[in-house]
A and B are shown apart, each in its own frame.
Chain A
Amino acid sequence: MSDDRLTHYRDDELGAALRELDVPEHRPGFEAELHRLLAEERPATGRLGLRWGLRLALVAGVAAIVLLVVGIPRTDRTPRIAGPEVATAAQIKAQVQTALATLENLSGTVVSDGPRKGDRQRWRFTLTAAGDFLLVGPGEGERLAYDASEGVVRGAQTSASIGGDTLFYSERRGVAPGPPDPGPPTGPLPDQYGAFVRALLSAEDPRVREVTYDGRPAWRLEIDVEPNAIVPEFSGDRLEIAVDRETGLPVRLLVTKDGAFLEELRIEGLAVNRDLAPDTFELKFPAGADVARMDDGYRRTALDEVAGAVGYAPLVPTWVPTGYGLAEVAVAKHGAPTGTEGGNPPARKVVSLSYRRGLDQFLVTTRLARVPSEIDPDLPPQEAWSDPLASGEGFVDKPERLTIEQGALAGERAELVVVPRGIPHLWALTDELVVTVSGDLTRAELVRITESLGRRS
């Protein structure tokens, strides 16, 4: 029998017989019990998490767009592109990258809108180059604050499922610095709004048109993207970013599908590199408040302490792009599975090194490879592991396969992925470790950083 026949054959007669076997209905009260259990799901870990995820993705996306805003005209190092001449997409992209690398902080109000009445929402936000953030809104009293150096997210939020104005308080400690581990919720989600600016940066040749926006001359950059195959009607096929010609400020992000409006983001009251009060990112809970507390298990530590904590010498790059510096070192004995739908084996003895440059970030992570899969403990590592940062089907990644030529990973095979909707990344599976390098990097930088990795004992 050929392989094809072998893997397509179905025993229909046997199948019909199996379907004739009785299957009982649920026990009495099953559905009511399930509804009760669903209703008991804590907002901080269920619905509210999603809600904030969406909100933060919005803000993260807009923040990234804001970088376009501030990057173009506001620093002496940044060439001015405003003027009568038509900027090329390459010029604009270069300005974006410069902005990402030089900002200290930014703040403003982000407005999101959708096709339905009531979709419009507003948040005030502040982000810093250290990774801290504060979000205020959209409801009265709602706030979310992240302390990157401590890895703590604190929130006061209403419940989307319960409704009303009641605030629920939460504190999530031990948060990982970022992907592929579950980092703070502000990180641009690969399949969400934050990825749109990456789409601009990774687009081969975005179209630039002269348009009028809000009565002012502007440039409009258009990027075609592949919608998600699973929920295509909710996923755009075109992104448009409008950049004010006079100031060089991006003022609007528009997502459309077959020409129909899906989503809009815009920024109001932008401020850059302002003086921030020391307590800007503090969120104090009211006395007696019922606070839902969680711990992801990622502990900040010194690089020299890592080997003792995880039992192996960490892989540390000896080369990073200009301006980047090591900002956070975190270790975790246990972590959540990575990969598409969390399909990889559980994370064990994780090391996460976070490098920052302005609002840019990249991470080098390692975790043990020989961890039994929860799905099938007998699977060998090469079958158990898949790309820890995969975008997921519907956004099909086409990795570039390469061999690492230098450094501690010399000779290892690796996969490199730079796609519009995902985080640029490279990953490799060795006998001992699963290694990822990911973040705001070009293809060449990903490879060079990876080839500079060395053991630090």
Chain B
Amino acid sequence: MPASRPTGEIASAVVERARRGDREAFADVVRHYDPGLRALAYRLLGDRDRMDDALQDAYLKAFRALPGFRGASRLGTWLYRIVYNACLDELERARRVIHLPLEEAAEPRDAPPDLAEGVARRRDLAAAVAALAPEDRAAVLLVDAHGFDYRDAGEVLGVPVGTVASRLSRARGALRHALGEQERGVSGR
């Protein structure tokens, strides 16, 4: 399933109930943000089980910390930051080369040209994303795919806005390069 652009902030009444320890309200919060958080975690970790392990860890941390959430950032930003840190922890724990997923959809043998091009394009893009440093990967996913502004992305990543911009520049250059290579390959058939 493709990642969707993240939705807006959840109703503040739900947040307040969750802050007060209401598990159902917290489950609502998780459901609201999960698609975007799942996309970020999967692209950072490259494996569904590791994604789920990191998300479970992050959601538990968020549940424990939510009573102390004082609104210093938007709740979504705060959750992304927790998930991002959980993913970094997971990467650190693994201390091994992560083989991030190429696009899992195999190219159909008899697929029409447009579909084949689309599949090949996604596969190459996924490979290019996987080749990025995790920090650059997270920056481009947050800003370009998830719609974060630079300031909020900086809060998630824990870096100044200028650092976000430089990471984006690196990531976009690499991904654009990959896309361009792939497009030339397709047109050359």
Contacts and interface: CB of A to CB of B under 8 A. Distances in A.
A379 B42 contact: no
Given A24-B42, A383-B160, A392-B70, A18 B144 contact: yes
Q: Most B CB atoms within 10 A — which of A11, A39, A53, A232?
A: A11
B9 to A, nearest CB: 9
Contacts, number: 178
Contacts of B74: 230
Contacts of B35: 23
A376 B158 contact: yes
B87 interface: no
A394 B159 CA distance: 21
Interface string A17-29: 1111111111100
B7 interface: no
Interface stretch (A40-48, A165-173, A272-280): A40-48
B67 A27 contact: no
B67 A50 contact: yes
A123 to B, nearest CB: 18
B126 A21 contact: yes
B187 interface: no
Contacts of A27: 48-49, 52
Interface residues of A, number: 61
A231 interface: yes
Given A18-B129, A21-B125, A375-B85, A45 B64 contact: yes
Given A27-B49, A230-B75, A383-B160, A18 B141 contact: yes
A374 interface: yes
A117 interface: no
A402 interface: no
Contact of A231 (B56, B63, B65, B71): B71
A28 B91 CA distance: 23
B145 A26 contact: no
A214 interface: no
Contacts of A383: 160
Contacts of A10: 143-144, 147
B3 A17 contact: no
A30 B56 contact: yes
Interface string A337-359: 00011110000000000000000
A7 B145 contact: no
A21 B2 contact: yes
Interface in B170-185: 172, 175-176, 179
Interface string B155-166: 001111110110
B123 to A, nearest CB: 9
A233 interface: yes
A18 B145 CA distance: 6
A228 B71 contact: yes
Given A12-B144, A19-B5, A26-B52, A390 B72 contact: yes
Contacts of B13: 233
Interface string A389-418: 011111100000000000000000000000
Contacts of B51: 24
A383 B157 CA distance: 13
Nearest to B73: A393
Contacts of A379: 158-159
A7 B72 contact: no
A285 to B, nearest CB: 24
Contacts of B121: 17
A19 B65 CA distance: 30
A137 interface: no
A161 B21 contact: yes
Contacts of A392: 70-72
A269 interface: no
Given A11-B140, A17-B125, A35-B23, 11 more contacts: A14-B175, A14-B179, A21-B3, A21-B43, A22-B1, A41-B63, A53-B67, A161-B21, A231-B71, A376-B159, A390-B72
Interface of B: 1-5, 12-13, 15-16, 19-21, 23, 26-27, 30, 35, 38-39, 42-43, 48-49, 51-52, 55-56, 59-60, 63-65, 67-75, 78, 81, 85, 103-105, 121-122, 125-126, 129, 140-141, 143-145, 147, 149-151, 157-162, 164-165, 172, 175-176, 179
Interface of A: 6-8, 10-12, 14-15, 17-27, 30, 33-35, 37-39, 41, 45-47, 49-51, 53-54, 160-161, 191, 228-234, 340-343, 373-376, 379, 383, 390-395
24 contacts: A7-B151, A14-B179, A17-B122, A17-B125, A17-B179, A18-B129, A19-B4, A19-B145, A23-B2, A23-B35, A26-B55, A30-B52, A34-B60, A47-B21, A161-B21, A229-B71, A230-B71, A233-B13, A340-B73, A341-B69, A342-B68, A374-B85, A392-B72, A393-B72
Q: Which 10 A-B pairs have the closest CB atoms?
A: A375-B158, A230-B71, A15-B144, A392-B70, A394-B71, A340-B72, A50-B67, A18-B145, A47-B21, A392-B72
